[in-house]
Amino acid sequence: MTERRVVSVDAYRGLVMLLLVSGGGLALTRVQGTRLAWIARQLEHAEWEGCTLWDVVQPAFMFTVGIAMPLARRRGAVEALGRAARLMVLGVLLDVWQTQRLALGLVSVLQQIALSYLVAFAVLGQRTAVKAGAAAGLLAAHTAAFVGYGWAREVPPWVKADNAGRALDRLVGLPVDTDGYVTLAFVSSAATVLAGVLAGELVASSRPRQAILGTLAGLGAAGIAAGLALGEVVPIVKHVWTASFGLLATGWACLGLAVAYALVDVLGARGAALPFVVVGMNSLVVYVLSGLLNGPLRAVLRPALGAALAALVILAAKWLLAAWLYRMRLFFRV
């Protein structure tokens, strides 16, 4: 099967990537006590429980990974394993570059994508009901692991200091993340990737565009409602990717895709979408180069421009690189 392009998907992926590589640098109002301070709070992760705009950016990117899977050329198992391995290696190398120490961590974005991608690939060729059931099963299994560990240890299941994810990382000798991120999050984040797979199949279907739009919007709203409702029982915590967080973030990601689909594919605003498409067509390149160059560029530009203006200049440079690659028709895949 040849690769299919859906312009709204490329545009949405580009928007998500621009948010992801901005590093929160667009929080120009990082001054408390002002009317705009709430923007700064939305561009920072919740300390533990809760959810901000910044918390849903990574899930939205993982959602777009899922969207691309049914649209891309069908891969065999060996090829899929190779792709996951390359993503894993890239992620580890970025960690080493950014931390300046050699450690095999699996909690960063690319490593989590690699693991979640393999889980989603395992059921990619199955019927819609099977994929939906697998996503629900992953959320249930993740919740059961944390609750079961808490019951066995006689501790609350969702505390940062002692939970199933942190215990597993210690058990297998992986670094314990000081912020509370855990490798086991890939189990429930794989459900987000699978939701993206279902969305990708939907936008590529022959159904009327209005029907596709309505389904995306309805599923997005349902995900948000379900996540908030479950959050009354299972706390909304991105660091361990609780089921409630997964549902909530996936719902927002689906609504974001619905907006992009409405603007680009229903209303035909393809010209306006081009600035995002150029990033979406080379999203991985933009992400990797961002990880490599953010530190050095900030060190050079911040003393001269200040943190806020330096962040805008660096973000503009990333977009210009993506635009040049697009103009040269250079598109890189892993």
Closest of 119, 122, 95, 120 to residue 107, by C-alpha = 95
Query: Using CA of residue 104, residue 109, residue 115, residue 118, what is the dihedral sign?
Result: negative
Residue 19 and residue 25: Cα distance in Å, rounded?
A: 9
Tell me what pLDDT residue 71 has: 87
pLDDT digits (tens, 9 = 90+) for 190-224: 999 999 999 999 999 999 999 999 999 999 999 99
Cβ-based neighbours of 16, under 8 Å, separated by 6 or more: 57, 60, 61, 64, 256, 283
pLDDT digits (tens, 9 = 90+) for 120-129: 999 999 999 9
Note every long-range contact of 76-83, with CB atoms under 8 Å and residues 24 or more positions apart, other chains counting.
77/121, 80/117, 80/118, 80/121, 81/118, 83/117, 83/334
Amino acid at 94: L
pLDDT digits (tens, 9 = 90+) for 295-333: 899 899 988 888 878 888 999 999 999 999 999 999 888
Q: What angle do CA 261, 9, 63 make, to 5 degrees?
A: 105
Considering the chain, what percentage of its residues have pLDDT values greater than 70?
Answer: 94
- At which residue do the structure tokens 């393999």 appear? 118
Q: How many CA atoms are closer than 13 Å to the CA of 50, on its beta-carbon side?
A: 10
Is the pLDDT score of 11 beyond 80? Answer: yes
Distances (CA, A) of 244 to 151, 231, 255, 310: 19, 5, 17, 36
Residue 262 and residue 257: Cα distance in Å, rounded?
A: 8
pLDDT range class, residue 3, cuts 50, 70, 90:
low
Query: Using CA of residue 165, residue 167, residue 170, residue 173, what is the dihedral sign?
Result: negative
The residue length of the chain stands at 334
- pTM (two decimals): 0.93
C-beta of residue 17 within 8 angstroms of C-beta of residue 286: yes
pLDDT digits (tens, 9 = 90+) for 255-294: 999 999 999 999 999 999 999 999 999 999 999 999 998 8
